[in-house]
Chain A
Amino acid sequence: MSAGYRSRPEEQGRTVRAPVPRWRSRRAKGLAYAAPTAVFVAVFFVLPLLLVGQMSLSDWPLLAGDRGVNAPGNYTDVTDTALFWPAVRFTLLYTVIVTVILLGLALLLALLVQESRPGAGFFRTVYFLPGALGLASASLLFWGLYSPTTGPLGGIPETLGLADEPVSFLGSPTSALLSTVFLVVWKFAGFYMLILLVGLQRIPHEVYEAARMDGASRAQIFRAVTLPLLRPSLALSLLLCVTGSLLAFDQFFVLTKGGPDNSTVTVVQLIYREAFQRMNLGTAAALSILVLAALLLLNVLQFRGLRRADES
């Protein structure tokens, strides 16, 4: 990292005093300034990518051991794992539910705070505040909040006469899923509200005025003006939300630990379990490659879909 950095003092001043090789010296300087980035990207990004490819084709126990070729054994082992398809199904289900609720609520929040009436700044801050917390911290917070013994919510159905005992929010597969969705929506709604707010503020006032002059109702304006002009921001939110949800880990690792009965195990949790509980880095690497491939494919499809929608 420091090689390029150190070479700068000798080069200093040469640009001005010796104008002949100026373009060449600027190229060298550009390279020197970019060198730390290049080293970082090469060592901590490109090299690991090559390594994970190699690992996915080899026997690779967590601790020392046989490192022979095992192709395509790791890949077939992955799909043979009993939890693989349930984890894929659960991750997809979770992604759909979170995306619909999260983006719907974020749009509502953005519409609520877009006009600069008194208090709008306060509400923006409040809605965003959970976003400043880490996902693991938020999950720990909700773990206490949902606790049947000390949490404030568990007793409510009992008090209302709807249940015989305090409700266990994380006790059944369905309620564990919905409880996690609620946590994620609480944590991220303000983040997506900001993205949509930026989009809303880029719609020129004249467009709204023209629509109002034509006698359009609020609902008509929303459908015919706001939604179409907001499409780039909605597309960005969709992309981020789908990608983030497909890679969900912290919230399930902390809040549900994958339970009850492995009903909330996501694909990334499966990678973690393969590597550090079943101590098989080879299969974990193969699973990682499959996730990467699925995500790349999804992004390509999404970009294509968006571009086609733009053309029509």
Chain B
Amino acid sequence: MLARALGRTPHYVVAGGLAVIFLFPLLWNTWASVSPQPGTAQESGHGLGNYRTLLEYDAGLWQYLLNSTVVSALTVGLTLGVSLLGGYAFARFDFPGKNLLFLLTLAILMVPYATLLIPLYVLLGRLHLQNSLIGLSLVLAMFQLPFATFMMRISFEAVPRELEESALVDGCGTAGALRRVLLPAVRPGLITVGLFAFLSAWNDFIAPLILISDSEKAPLPLAVANLRQQSMGAVDYGATEAGVVVLAVPCLLLFLLLQRHYIRGFMSGALKG
């Protein structure tokens, strides 16, 4: 029935109509963020008044942007470093406990976020990493490991062994072969892993909600959500909409720029999963 209905209705009418529905909230929010709203810094005329409110809110937009940038950079760096070495080990070496470790890494996917965050809250306290951006990044990087390790293992396996062996014969150690020969070959995999890690670290909400208690250290999503909750008396929709724009722009740009890699990551994930 679905197929027949599709056959009858002009294809572009359906596709175009749906495209409008998908784009509308994004366009509306962008427009609303520069529009006048009652009870905000911008009561009349269009302009950046809502963004100015956001700049001065609590610890200030720059502080929150800095927090988010630090967390995202640390998470991406940690994820890339660990999964590059781990992927190399799983693809090219035999060592005791290899299969167990790989299965344990994948098992992170099976355990609900919330189940781990409660003990991690306690554990980070004992490691003196509670309420710290470093602790948060370590946790976020751990959640990235199943996908990242899997992806890097596939990337290394796709590189012909001869390439690396000739480097070893030429006198490189394994580290030299990794740096000089393999690193360029697995770059697409690294870009995919980095993009996924960035998007999830930049956007994560529940981990900072539980692990960060100091509003000065809140990443942007938490700060914007707090902005909305704290102003219960007079709700500032305008500043919230401005916050959504600031949150969304890097994600949308990065996705549009690296779309190809995103979709390739998807393919290898879906193909083997």
Q: Residues on A close to B: CB < 8 A?
A: 1, 5, 8-9, 11-16, 26-38, 40-41, 43-49, 51-52, 55, 60, 108-109, 111-113, 117, 119, 122-123, 125-130, 132-137, 140-145, 147, 149-150, 152, 186, 189-190, 194-195, 198-199, 202, 217-219, 221-222, 233, 236, 247, 249-250, 253-254, 268, 271-272, 275-276, 281, 284-285, 288-289, 291-292, 295-296, 299
Contacts and interface: CB of A to CB of B under 8 A. Distances in A.
B154 to A, nearest CB: 15
Contacts of A150: 32, 37-38, 237
Contacts of A15: 168, 173-174
A296 B251 CA distance: 32
Nearest to A240: B273
Contacts of A132: 199, 248, 251-252, 254-255
The dominant DSSP class at the B interface is helix
A29 B113 CA distance: 33
Interface residues on chain B, size class:
35 or more
A276 B210 contact: yes
Contacts of B240: 140, 143-144
B166 to A, nearest CB: 12
Contact of A236 (B19, B145, B248, B270): B270
Contacts of B82: 1, 36-37, 40
Interface in B93-143: 93-98, 101, 104-105, 107-108, 110-116, 118-123, 138-139, 141-142
Given A27-B95, A137-B248, A288 B114 contact: yes
Given A46-B104, A198-B271, A271 B118 contact: yes
A199 B270 contact: yes
A125 B145 CA distance: 27
B9 to A, nearest CB: 11
B29 A145 contact: yes
A112 to B, nearest CB: 5
Contacts of A133: 203, 247-248, 251-252
Given A13-B171, A140-B240, A190-B22, 17 more contacts: A31-B93, A34-B85, A37-B82, A40-B82, A40-B142, A47-B119, A49-B116, A112-B11, A127-B18, A130-B22, A132-B248, A137-B247, A144-B244, A219-B4, A275-B121, A295-B110, A295-B112
B22, B94, B115, B138 — most chain A CB neighbours (10 Å): B115
Interface string B205-240: 110011000000000010011001000000101001
Which one of A5, A55, A250 has the greatest number of beta carbons of chain B within 10 Å? Answer: A250
A141 B29 contact: yes
